């Protein structure tokens, strides 16, 4: 447990030490809120779908968590290249604890980023549907963060090249985000696209946040929670196994 806490604390401290990282990671969410929120808002409203900002913000919160969580895996490659990972792995603790501690740290940072975006969204006119459901919203943020931090760590564990990791992540991240329903309603989609959306774990995270923050849910909060929970267990288990086989 000490190893888990130490690695968690290290990841969190790295986040708060880098002011430029905090500010830089807010650029893309703010761009989406401004460009899409106000650019497509009138079209969305004219189509009878209501306030687009209310619909968009949960998707943008999920996006900020996704990007920060999945790219946190790059620290595994970074630590391997500079020797820190070797020092960590020789410690007399199971490797799954090391992986779990790093995953918790990366997920915590991603959730903090999501909370910052959530707070900023009020300046754009977003209003929460029910403050009583904010705790449930935090749970969905945490599940999304754990899923994609574990995925990023697992992929980074089998790669040695930082550029290769970035290419693979870019190949995964954009489809995961754009096919999650973060930017458009899922109702009325073509059958093929709807099937793809159903297999995207991000879809359930976006839907869970939209249900808790905006009062709109396509799948149901119970379904969203259990599917995300199962995926968390699977990816952490796979990530722990892959990380245990890492060579330094």
What's the pLDDT at 145?
94
What's the pLDDT at 205?
94
Phi-psi domain of 24 (left: phi exceeds 0; alpha: psi -120 through 50; beta: other): alpha
Torsion angles phi and psi, residue 22, rounded to 5? -65, -50
Burial of residue 21 (number of CB atoms within 10 Å: 0-12, 13-18, 19+): middle
pLDDT digits (tens, 9 = 90+) for 66-78: 988 888 777 777 7
| CA 76 – CA 19 distance, rounded (Å) | 21
What's the pLDDT at 68?
87
What's the pLDDT at 203?
94
What's the pLDDT at 204?
95
What's the pLDDT at 84?
66
Residues in the chain: 248
Q: Which residues of the chain have pLDDT under 50?
A: none
What's the pLDDT at 125?
85
What's the pLDDT at 18?
63
Contact 51, 41 (CB under 8 A): yes
């Amino acid at each position: 447990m000490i190893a888990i806490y130490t690695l968690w604390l290290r990841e969190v401290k790295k986040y708060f030490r880098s002011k430029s990282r905090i500010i830089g990671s807010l650029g893309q969410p703010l761009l989406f809120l401004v460009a899409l929120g106000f650019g497509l808002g009138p079209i969305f409203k004219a189509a009878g779908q209501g306030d687009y900002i209310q619909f968009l913000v949960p998707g943008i919160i999920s996006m900020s968590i996704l990007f920060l969580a999945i790219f946190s895996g790059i620290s595994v490659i970074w630590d391997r290249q500079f020797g820190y990972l070797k020092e960590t792995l020789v410690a007399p603790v199971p490797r799954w604890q090391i992986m779990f501690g790093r995953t918790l740290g990366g997920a915590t940072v991603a959730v903090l980023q999501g909370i910052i975006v959530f707070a900023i969204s009020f300046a754009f006119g977003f209003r929460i549907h029910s403050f009583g459901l904010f705790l449930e919203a935090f749970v969905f943020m945490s599940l999304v963060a754990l899923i994609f931090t574990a995925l990023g760590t697992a992929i980074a564990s089998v790669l040695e090249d930082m550029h290769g990791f970035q290419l693979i992540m870019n190949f995964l991240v954009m489809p995961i985000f754009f096919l999650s329903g973060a930017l458009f309603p899922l109702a009325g989609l073509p059958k093929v696209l709807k099937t793809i959306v159903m297999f995207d774990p991000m879809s359930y995270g976006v839907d869970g946040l939209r249900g808790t923050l905006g009062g709109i849910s396509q799948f149901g909060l119970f379904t969203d929670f259990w599917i995300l929970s199962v995926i968390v267990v699977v990816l952490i288990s796979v990530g722990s196994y892959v990380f245990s086989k890492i060579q330094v």
